[in-house]
Structures are given as C-alpha cells and as structure tokens.
Amino acid sequence: MSEKVFDYYLDGKTGKWEVIIGLEVHAQVSSNAKLFSSSSTKFGSEPNSQVSLVDAAMPGMLPVINKYCVEQAVKTGLGLKAKINNFSKFDRKNYFYADLPQGYQISQFKFPIVGEGKVILDMPYGTKEVGIERLHLEQDAGKSLHDQDPQNSFVDLNRSGVALMEIVGKPDLRSPEEVGQYVKKLRSIMRYLNTCDGNMDEGSLRADVNVSVRKVGSRELGTRCEIKNVNSIKFMQQAIEYEAKRQIEIIEEGGAVNQETRLFDTKKIETRSMRSKEDAHDYRYFPDPDLLPLELDQDYINNIKKSLPELPDEKKARLMNDFGLSSYDASIIISDQEISTYYEEVAKNSDYKLAANWMIVELFGILNKENKEIKDSPVSAKNLSKLINLIKDNTISGKIAKTVFEDMIKGNQDPVEIINKKGLTQQSDPKELEKIIDKIVQSNLDKVEQYKSGKDKLFGFFVGQAMKETQGKGNPKLINDILKEKLK
C-alpha cells in the first residue's frame, strides 16, 4: 500500500485552513431497564407505553440507579483505555423543555465515572491517536413530535430516562474521514463489549459535533460552534464540511465566528443557528440531593477488567502476529465483532491468509451485493472453511473454487457435495497431466518452436490448451511445472 499523507486542508481566499473537530458522542446503554427507573428501554414501542412514574417526573418520585448501567460505563471506559474513577457524583443539569419532564437532567458534571482515555484509528496515512476527555452517565430525554399538528407538539416519554454514556473526545480530529473512523471505532468497541448496540438508525448512537477552523501553522484554537444531535456518519461529515467552509468565509470577510449551537439541516445540507437554546446555557449544575456518591472499589473494577472480551485493537494485533494477516486485512476482520468471530471460526481449521482473502473478497462481495450482514451470510463458516481446505490440498484450483462458491451461496451447500456432484475434482495426477501435455505439444510443434525462439507469451497458449483439455480442472501449478519442463 502506498504511503499516504494527511491532506484535508481547505483552500480559502487567504490561504490554507485546517479544521479542528471534537465529538461528544451519546451512546445508549444496552440495558433492559432505564438508568434511574425500571421501565423498559425497548425501541419502537407504542408511545408513552414505557414510562414509569419516575420517568414522567410525578410528584414525590425518586431515582434509583441501575447497577448494570454502571458496569457498562466502566466496561466502556476500560475499552477506551481510560481511568475509571473510584469516586463519582451525579449532578442535575437544569433547563426546561417539553421532553424533559423533571425540568432537569440527571447527569455527571464535576466528577464523572470515567476519566481520560484514548482511541487508536487506522488511517491510510498511519495510526492516529484520538484523546478521550471523559465518559459519564446521564439520562436521555423523551421525544417531541412537531409535525403532527399545526399548533401543538406531541410528547412521547418512552425514551425519557434511558441510560446514555456521553463520551467526550478531545478536539484531536482533523477531517470528516477521521470523524467517520472515530465513530466507527467507538461503535465497534462498544459492540464488542456489548455495552451499546451502536444502531444509529434507532438513535442508539448520536453525536454533537464541535467544529472550529484555523490557518495551517497556527497554534491557537478558533471559536467553535456546536452542531447538535447528528445521527449518522454521513450527516456528520456533510455538516463538518459545510460548517468549516461557513466559518472560513466569515473570518476571511473580516468577521468573527459566534460561539453558538447549531442544527444540521439534512435536506438543505447546511447548519443553522438554534435561537431557542441561546438563553438556556446556564444549567445551574449542582449535586443531585436524591442520590449518593458512586463509590467503586478497585476489586469491582478489576473484576470487570478480567471479564472483558478481547478488544478490537488486541484482536488486530493477534491476527497480525499469530495469523500473519496484513494490517489492512486485520483491520477489516476486526471492524465488527461478528465478522471476527466468523473469521476465527473459519481460520480454526484452515489456512489463515486464504480464509481472510476469501472472506474479504468473495464473501463480502456477495454480502454487499445482497445488502446483507455477516450474520445473514448465505455461507456458513464451516463450509467456507471446507472450501478453503479443498483448495489448499489441491483438490480443486482457486478458479474452480470460485464456481463452487457460486453454488454454495444457494442454500449454504456443502462444497464437497458440489464437487462430487459436478465432478470438479482437480486433475492433479502428474502422469495424466503429462500425457495431456505431451499431446498438446505434439499437436503444436510450430508454436513450440516459436516459444523456444523467444515468444514467451505463447506459454499462456499452452496453459490455456491444457486447461481446455482438462475442462478447467487441471492443477495449474503442476501444469506450469510440467510445461516448463517440456518446453525447455
């Protein structure tokens, strides 16, 4: 792979600009019940059917924390190689909105459950380390529907109180591409740990994107704007591009960027200012008097650490070291836990590199074409493993294997059966091949002369003939070797 260099710079009228991006990612914890109440977190239920008295902020209601959500936050923190804080507190973030029944959100301000950590990205120009500032637990808000009625909004509190992990990243990202990789990596880590399903369509993962710009070479940070609640990587990337250009234009015309909160309009592909949130910036944080501090002892944290599955970075290192995969191939395999599980199943009994190759090229080709996930793969790991072994032991050639594969995807057929049914077993008997090749040589003596006198390209002709004679089943390597001998 060619050595690429980072090159996301925007050309302004006055020179080159770089873009500084920091993300605040909100990830819903995959728990059964909510963070401070026992109602269900299931997505897509009838409106207001998963709302407890606590979620609706009825008079006299009190929060009780869900221990599983605490564990998931600790797990995620460990996955981010972050410091787990033995002492943390819950604070109230006070503001008014129809989807916030308490008139405050229970969050963590001064003492979050997780401290500094980092995430490593594989970029085409090398690895990039992105710093994590902190991770804290907080309540999600409900949903307001504004398009059902001309005068009114409708409020659904099903989501009110669901546990969110807010992952605050340092402003280390420098391009929409890096942002995409960052979000994918976070998502992958949390899916490996089973702490968040990362399902952006269902709102399990969304981000507030902080964007600022500065002239290349400058060390100071420019004024940033926050683009709130972006729920797909594509939108994040579009929003960043638009916002960066907008800011550059303002500065180059002599103006100054206002620090403000903006929304991304997914239809117009532009960001615009959110007027109504202007005055709500004074959140009057104070420790929630209905809760006690969260104290986690080191044994608790160590037990969770011991129980962690292998994380993407570790798995990648192991695939490269123990399985001899290239960095590129390993990255693809680990990108999703289900993919890596499938791979390890295949590689358990067959050649590592062939397994990687076949998955990445052939299997993914089919999955992409049919828009399927690996869990719906038309070919089981066991059968793919069998196919690879058949190639490895020369029963069939790689080329024939491709045709076998085409049959395998129709109902996960066993490759051995296909080969037997269609008689595709490779012709690897050297004596037989020699016989066939002798015949070809004899029938093409003129071409043999031409080859011997320098027309190297004619070698392919002989190979082709041998393949034809063997109906494609000839062992290519043997054919090659025998021909070389015969045409010396």
Partner 1 sequence: MATIPKYTLVELVNKIKSKEISAVDVTNAYVERILKSKKLNAFISETLESALEQAKKADVINKKDGALSCAPIAVKDLFCTKNVQTTASSKILKNFIPTYESTVTSKLWDQGAILLGKLNCDEFAMGSSNETSAYGNVINPYRNNHDTLVPGGSSGGCSSAVAANLTSATVGTDTGGSIRQPAAFTGIVGLKPTYGRCSRWGIVAFASSLDQAGPMTKDVADSALMLDVISGYDEKDSTSANVKKVEFLRNLKKDIKGLKVGIPKEYIVDNMPKAIQSLWDKGIGFMKDSGAIIKNISLPHTKYALPTYYIVAPAEASSNLARYDGVKYGFRAAGKDLIEMYENTRAQGFGDEVKRRIMIGTYVLSSGYYDAYYLKAQQVRRLIKNDFDSAFNEVDTILTPTAPSSAFKIGDKTEDPISMYLNDVFTVPVNLAGLPAISLPGGLDESGLPLGLQLIGKSFDEQTILNAAYALEEKIGFQSQVKDWWM
Partner 2 sequence: MTINKATVKKISKLARIASNEQFEEFMIKDLNSILTFVEQLNELDIKNIEPLSSVVEQELFQRDDVVRIINDKEDILKNSPDKNENYFVVPKVIE
Q: Which residues bind partner 2 (CB under 8 A)?
A: 31-33, 38-40, 46-49, 51-53, 56, 64-70, 89, 96-98, 144-146, 149, 151-157, 274-276, 279, 282, 284, 287, 289, 291-295
The alpha-carbon radius of gyration of the chain (Å, integer) is 30
> What are the angstrom distances between the C-alpha of 258 and each of 223, 265, 437, 488?
7, 19, 79, 79
Q: Which residues does residue 169 pair with via DSSP β-bridges, in sequence order?
A: 132
> Of 75, 89, 63, whose CA–CA distance to 295 is shortest?
89
Restricted to residues 365-384, the positions that interact with partner 1 (CB under 8 A) are none
| 185 binding partner 1? (CB under 8 A) | no
| 274 binding partner 1? (CB under 8 A) | no
Q: How far, in whole angstroms, is CA 185 from its chain's centroid? A: 5
| 286 binding partner 1? (CB under 8 A) | yes
Cβ atoms of 49 and 158 closer than 8 Å: yes
The one of partner 1, partner 2, none whose footprint includes residue 309, by CB under 5 to 8 A per kind, is none
- In angstroms, give the least distance from the CB of 97 to partner 2: 8
> Of 282, 284, 288, whose CA–CA distance to 89 is shortest?
288
- The residue behind tokens 């994590």 is 132
The one of partner 1, partner 2, none whose footprint includes residue 57, by CB under 5 to 8 A per kind, is partner 1
Q: Out of 155, 366, 448, 487, which residue is the one contacting partner 1 (CB under 8 A)?
A: 155
Q: Out of 63, 79, 112, 198, which residue is the one contacting partner 1 (CB under 8 A)?
A: 63
The one of partner 1, partner 2, none whose footprint includes residue 149, by CB under 5 to 8 A per kind, is partner 2
- In angstroms, give the least distance from the CB of 56 to partner 1: 6
Rounded to 10°, the helix 337-348/381-392 angle is 40
Measure the N-to-C terminal CA separation of the chain; round to a whole number of Å: 37
Residue 83 neighbours by CB under 8 Å, 6+ apart: 77, 114, 115, 116, 117
Q: Out of 26, 92, 187, 191, which residue is the one contacting partner 1 (CB under 8 A)?
A: 92
| 64 binding partner 1? (CB under 8 A) | yes
The one of partner 2, partner 1, none whose footprint includes residue 6, by CB under 5 to 8 A per kind, is none
Listed ranges 24-32, 209-217, 290-298, 334-342: which one lies at the site for partner 1 (CB under 8 A): 290-298
Which residue lies nearer to partner 2 by CB, 160 or 470?
A: 160
- Residue length of the chain: 488
CA 385, 387, 388, 389 torsion: positive or negative? positive
Which residue lies nearer to partner 2 by CB, 56 or 360?
A: 56
Tokens of 440: 């070809």
Q: Out of 15, 42, 62, 481, which residue is the one contacting partner 1 (CB under 8 A)?
A: 62
The one of partner 1, partner 2, none whose footprint includes residue 40, by CB under 5 to 8 A per kind, is partner 2
Which residue lies nearer to partner 2 by CB, 152 or 371?
A: 152
Listed ranges 73-81, 226-234, 281-289, 356-364: which one lies at the site for partner 1 (CB under 8 A): 281-289
Which residue lies nearer to partner 1 by CB, 83 or 277?
A: 277
Residue 325 neighbours by CB under 8 Å, 6+ apart: 319, 333, 352, 353, 356
Cβ atoms of 144 and 154 closer than 8 Å: yes
Q: How many CB atoms lie within 10 A of CB 342?
A: 22
- In angstroms, give the least distance from the CB of 39 to partner 2: 7
Listed ranges 62-70, 115-123, 184-192, 413-421: which one lies at the site for partner 1 (CB under 8 A): 62-70
> Of 242, 274, 235, 239, whose CA–CA distance to 258 is shortest?
274
Rounded to 10°, the helix 312-323/337-348 angle is 20
- The residue behind tokens 């123990």 is 322
| 137 binding partner 1? (CB under 8 A) | no
Q: How many CB atoms lie within 10 A of CB 275?
A: 9
| 49 binding partner 1? (CB under 8 A) | no
Which residue lies nearer to partner 2 by CB, 137 or 363?
A: 137
The one of partner 2, partner 1, none whose footprint includes residue 61, by CB under 5 to 8 A per kind, is partner 1
Q: Which residues does residue 114 pair with via DSSP β-bridges, in sequence order?
A: 84, 135
| 150 binding partner 1? (CB under 8 A) | no
* Site residues for partner 1 per CB under 8 A: 53, 56-65, 92, 94, 96, 98, 101-104, 153, 155, 276, 281-282, 284-286, 289-292
